[in-house]
Structures are given as structure tokens and as C-alpha cells.
Amino acid sequence: MAKSITKEGDALDGLEGDMGALHTSENYIIVDIGANLTNKKFTRDLDSVVGRARDAGVHKIMVTGTTVQSSKEALRLTRLFPETLYSTAGRSPG
């Protein structure tokens, strides 16, 4: 029998019967859907940040853009790590 991936109190707790396919890491990939890697604090160690995410099992990372400039920067970062990083383009309505 496959080992459960859920823990008490996590988002999938209680959904075991409905989500039987999510029992081993071979059946899913981990995607970070909202990484703010355009923040200046990641400039010096972006290689390390992406490497640690990969080592932790994160397969894909969505780099978020919230302004025209940060959306352009998010796209630029995807070119540095084309197998891992993807970008979104956005602009706050305010």
C-alpha cells in the first residue's frame, strides 16, 4: 500500500478517498505558483534559491510580475532557468 502524503491539518487532510492518485511522489510534481523572485533580495543568490527549491522537490516555479517592470524582470529570469522558471505578467488595478 502506498504511503499517504497528507498530514493532519494540511490542505489535503480528509481528502484521501477522493485523491487516491496523490500517494507517491511519482504521481505528482510540486509547482510554486507565486514566487516573488524579482525582489532585490534574491539578486545575489538566485542560483542558490532555485537550486534549494529543486533540491526540495519543486519542479516548476511561477515568477510573479505585478507591474510592467517586474513582469519584464520575471520574463528575463525565466530565460536564466528555462527548465524551472515560468512567469506571469500582471498589473495591480490601483
Asked whether the predicted pLDDT for residue 18 surpasses 80, the reply is no
Grid cell of 23 as nine digits: 500517494
Rounded to two decimals, the pTM is: 0.69
Amino acid found at 6: T
Cβ–Cβ < 8 Å for 88, 74: yes
Strand order in the sheet with 30-35: 30-35, 58-63, 85-87
The vertex-64 CA angle with 37 and 74, nearest 5°, equals: 65
Domain ranges, ordered by start, for the chain: 26-87
Over residues 55-80, the pLDDT tens digits come to 999 999 999 998 889 999 999 999 99
The CA–CA distances, whole Å, from 35 to 7, 25, 49, 79 equal 24, 22, 11, 16
Question: Mean pLDDT across the chain, nearest whole number?
Answer: 81
